[in-house]
Amino acid sequence: MFRSMTAYGRHAYMSESREITVELKSVNSKFLDLSVKAPRTLSPLEARIKGAVTAHPISRGRLDVFINYVSSDSSGTTLALDEGYAAGYIAALRELRDKFDLRDDISVMTVAQNRDVFTFREVGEDLDEIWAELEPVINAACLEFVAEREREGENLRRDILGKIAHLRELTDRIEKISEGEIESARDRIKQRLITVLADNRITVDENRILTECAIWADKIAIDEELVRLRSHFAALEAMAELDIPVGRKFDFQLQESSREINTIGSKCQNAEIAKLVVEMKNESEKIREQIQNIE
C-alpha cells in the first residue's frame, strides 16, 4: 500500500467545559519530523500527544499538529507575567527603536498586545481529565489524516503501475528490434571484413571472421540488460502491493532499473531503439518524481 506524505486531517470536539480542535498537515521529508503547536496549558501533555500521533501508521514526512484548546470555565483561570519573555521582548523593541531611529511609543499597552508576555493556567484542571477528552480527538484527526494519505497514495500507485506497464511494453519493443538488429549488423560486419581483406589481398579466414563478428555482436547485445530490467520491474510491482512504507526501497530499485536503461542506450546503434530509450528515461523520471511523495 502506498501512502502519500502530503495530507491533511482535522477533528473537533465540544463538551460543556471544553472546545478542542486538532489539525494535522504534512509535506515531504526523508524522515518523520513531528512538531506540535498547542497552547501552553497543554505543554505538559506534549509527549503524550506525540505518542498518540506516532501510534498511527505515520513514518515519514514533516508533520505539524495544531491543537486549539479552549476552556469555558474562566473562573479557574489565572494570568501571570512571563518576566523573562517580557524582558527580552521589551529589549528587542528598544533595539529596534534605536537602530532605526523610530519614535518611542513603547508603553504598557504596546507590550500587552503581545499575548505571549502572559501565561495562562487553568487552576484546578486535571491533566489526566484533559487528556481523556483530548486523546480521542487526536486519534480521530489522525484516522482522517491517514485515510487521506492512503487515498492519495492509491492514486499514485495506480498511476505508477500504469507507467511500469508502459515501460514493459517499451522493453518488449526494444527486444524485438534488437534481435533483428544483431543479425543484420553481424551480416554487415562480415561483408565489410571480407571486402576489406579482399581489397588488401589478404587471405580470408572464415573462422576468424565469424569469431570477430561474434565478439562484436556480443558487445552490442542487450539481452542481459533486458532480463535484469524486467526483474527490476517485477520487484517494483511487488513492492507496490506491500502494506508497509516502501518509498525509499522503491526509489532505490527505480535507480537500478534506470542504470539498465542507460546501459541499453549506450550499447544501441539503432535510431529506433535510441528513440524508445529516451521515452523510457522520460517515463522513469516521471515515476521518480512521484515516488518522492510516497511514505
Average pLDDT for residues 144-157, to the nearest whole number?
Answer: 94
Reported as a single tens digit per residue, the pLDDT across 157-187 is: 999 999 999 999 999 999 888 876 666 666 6
SS3 of residue 204 by DSSP: coil
Q: Nearest Cα to 288, choosing from 227, 242, 236, 234?
A: 236
Kindly report the CA angle at 221 between 224 and 196, in degrees rounded to 5?
A: 160
CA-based end-to-end distance of the chain = 10
**286 CB-side CA count, 13 A:** 16
pLDDT of residue 180: 66
Query: 52-56, 116-120, 132-136 — which is least confidently predicted?
Result: 116-120
**How far is the C-alpha of 65 from the C-alpha of 42, rounded, in Å?**
13
Kindly state the percentage of the chain with pLDDT values over 70: 82
Whole-model pTM above 0.75? no
pLDDT of residue 209: 58
What pLDDT is stored for residue 126 in this prediction?
Answer: 81
Euclidean distance between CA atoms 126 and 67, whole angstroms: 18
Domain edges within the chain: 78-122, 152-291
What cell numbers appear for 32 in the block? 518523520
Nearest to 98 by CA among 106, 110, 88: 106
pLDDT at res. 77: 58
Residue type, 101: D
Work out the angle between the directed axes of helices 46-54 and 127-199 (0-180°, nearest 10): 50
What's 4's DSSP letter? B
19-33, 217-231, 266-280, range with the lowest pLDDT: 217-231
Beta carbons of 4 and 152 less than 8 angstroms apart: yes
